[in-house]
Structure 1
């Protein structure tokens, strides 16, 4: 008797990894199964997990979480599993990122490199290793760079006359005093926006601080916990009270009636009271863009283009471009490990100050 066609059960889709990086780190940092647990060991494990989570900043972890979510969604659409790490499959993912489709444009080289870093971090949190030196990844990434790489787009530097015009747009109420201190201290210190809002009044004020300030007669010393480690930044007093970052900081401290906890905090809706909540670094970016518009900087351009030109890094680039000082001092202030990195921030510098052509006898 002839049998009819048999139904074939569809293959089960591969199991996807839906764990968050924090949960994956918790799983990886656990006592071995053959070790008997104890109160002391469990506390050490909890502390180790806290340290592991602090290895990257909040913004970095959020970005890496988005990278992992995008990659796992791509794997799900292709019917494959993201685990374990497979360099050949990662190379195909990078290729897809660099290839434009009807639904989305090709990603930039910097975005692709960031995604790759995010995948490496996420695999490490899950106890796996992504070999970024594997031939599949190296060759594909090199080809993407060769074909699609473009010169980096630099943000416009905020120069001395710009910062003076920007702070002139701020009122002398509590919110204006705070924002004036943010702009002047960030500019004179060459600070990142995340470093500005992470400051406390004093050491150990809060568990999540990224540094503290010490106001002295001649200026203020900032102790910063940066991505390269702890360092000190000295900000001296300015030539006038209107543009002095230390005076602006003292005014904010006096009228906010605060001397403990986060240095820069939110203001109540009525504008009359400083709250306890620390500002987000996004406030610094919004503040820069808004005061650039209000001050009429680069008014020759449409508003959208003007907003795109400036960001939090415009403060650091402004200090590097405006400071009439030895390059080594600027490098130290910005916390750069090389002079070449500092020169990338200098929008105005004499590129031919050292004439190697003449020095070579030509």
Structure 2
């Protein structure tokens, strides 16, 4: 049984003890809610130094670098994780600070099997992957506040192991957009500004095996914008994309296709020419009358909507109801499509997708020949 730690078992000597339960506060203890609400990335000036304008600017620069240590999407997800956890604590009269492994063990158990009397928004059981992500977000926020959360503590590790054992399911994979599919999808687009842009997005995203966030973060040139996630260089034989991904910077080579109608580099050149883009964000919004290009960078949500829209227009998986077809496809369908359609050595696909392991690449290969190597016959049977 998970026991509750006593006051003596907590060991952050420089900080007052906060019991996870109400009416058990130590003398002189302040409300933890103000500490919970403090922003993260609290880079401060050393106490031994006297403040100055130059040092203040340096502190601001350090804070900006600290914010960029993790991707914006990761920061947003971790913020939601922390907000959910602290809200759960408040509803039960518990303090989120300092970290209590017992309390977090109860929290992840509640996420896997919500109480019947919990608010309606909290009654849905979370998947194992979501619970693990929430635990990562909570640990990250504790670290930003100067605490260390021991995820190997038995109150957390054993509960999480039990949740995995009972509730773990194979991951739900999105349908891959295959070669014949992407050709049919771009055929539904016209040749006005918006369609030229969308054609380039689909073909570049497919041929590069890009995440939707990587597509919209591209700039025309290096260091064009502050929020750039990479840039392009168009050459005679194709285009080279310099991308800042999850695992650091990588180069993605996209060769020219066999037909101008389906060539990703030609589609990109057409978009840049007619949109008159030679600086800044590569993929941008267009005006309502579709006659001019605006400065605003596209949201990555546009890529997901575009894929769903063209899937329907092309009649892909028309054997299914529309709602099911929409649920099958997402931004990751482009990455899975390249991995499933390209008949090349697996190592080249792994490099293109930026995966650290071949095992991750195989998860994207929907049509991979699983019995290419027959160990049964090789063993003499």
Q: What TM-score, normalized by structure 2, do the two folds share?
A: 0.89
**CA distance in structure 2 between the aligned counterparts of 1:143 and 1:60, rounded to whole angstroms:** 26
**CA distance in structure 2 between the aligned counterparts of 1:202 and 1:287, rounded to whole angstroms:** 25
Q: Deviations over 1:104-127 (max 9, x none)?
A: 121110110111011011111212
Q: Deviations over 1:119-162 (max 9, x none)?
A: 01111121222111111111000000000111111110000010
Cα 1:24–1:327 change in 2 (3 A) is closer
Cα 1:286–1:18 change in 2 (3 A) is farther
**CA distance in structure 2 between the aligned counterparts of 1:214 and 1:281, rounded to whole angstroms:** 22
**CA distance in structure 2 between the aligned counterparts of 1:176 and 1:19, rounded to whole angstroms:** 49
**CA distance in structure 2 between the aligned counterparts of 1:16 and 1:118, rounded to whole angstroms:** 19
Q: Deviations over 1:33-77 (max 9, x none)?
A: 233223333232211111110011111111111111111111101
Which runs of 5 or more structure 2 residues have no equivalent in the other structure?
1-21
Q: Secondary structure at the match of 2:296?
A: strand
Question: Do 2:209 and 2:335's aligned partners in 1 also have CA atoms closer than 8 Å?
Answer: yes
Partner residue, 2:50: 36
Question: Do 2:36 and 2:96's aligned partners in 1 also have CA atoms closer than 8 Å?
Answer: no
Determine if the alignment matches structure 1 residue 348 to structure 2 residue 362: no
Partner residue, 2:31: 15
Q: Deviations over 1:158-195 (max 9, x none)?
A: 00010011111112110000000000000000000000
Partner residue, 2:103: 89
**CA distance in structure 2 between the aligned counterparts of 1:40 and 1:18, rounded to whole angstroms:** 30
**CA distance in structure 1 between the aligned counterparts of 2:100 and 2:315, rounded to whole angstroms:** 52
Alignment of 1:233-272 (within 5 A): 233-272=252-291
Q: What TM-score, normalized by structure 1, do the two folds share?
A: 0.93
Cα 1:242–1:283 change in 2 (3 A) is same
**CA distance in structure 2 between the aligned counterparts of 1:281 and 1:236, rounded to whole angstroms:** 24
**CA distance in structure 2 between the aligned counterparts of 1:202 and 1:20, rounded to whole angstroms:** 41
Partner residue, 1:6: none
Partner residue, 2:6: none
Q: How many positions carry a matched residue from both structures?
A: 351
**1:68 is matched with which residue: 53, 76, 82?**
82
Partner residue, 2:240: 221
Cα 1:63–1:99 change in 2 (3 A) is same
Q: Secondary structure at the match of 2:254?
A: strand
Partner residue, 1:173: 192
Q: Deviations over 1:253-273 (max 9, x none)?
A: 011011100000000011000
CA RMSD of aligned residues (A): 1.7
Partner residue, 1:4: none
**CA distance in structure 1 between the aligned counterparts of 2:297 and 2:40, rounded to whole angstroms:** 29
Partner residue, 1:196: 215
Q: Deviations over 1:272-304 (max 9, x none)?
A: 001000001010011111111111111111111
**CA distance in structure 2 between the aligned counterparts of 1:177 and 1:49, rounded to whole angstroms:** 40
Partner residue, 1:138: 157
Question: Do 1:16 and 1:76's aligned partners in 2 also have CA atoms closer than 8 Å?
Answer: no
Which runs of 5 or more structure 1 residues have no equivalent in the other structure?
1-9
Question: Do 2:36 and 2:86's aligned partners in 1 also have CA atoms closer than 8 Å?
Answer: no
Q: What is the CA-CA distance between 1:11 and the residue it aligns to?
A: 5.2
Q: Secondary structure at the match of 1:88?
A: helix
Question: Do 2:284 and 2:295's aligned partners in 1 also have CA atoms closer than 8 Å?
Answer: yes
Question: Do 1:21 and 1:126's aligned partners in 2 also have CA atoms closer than 8 Å?
Answer: no
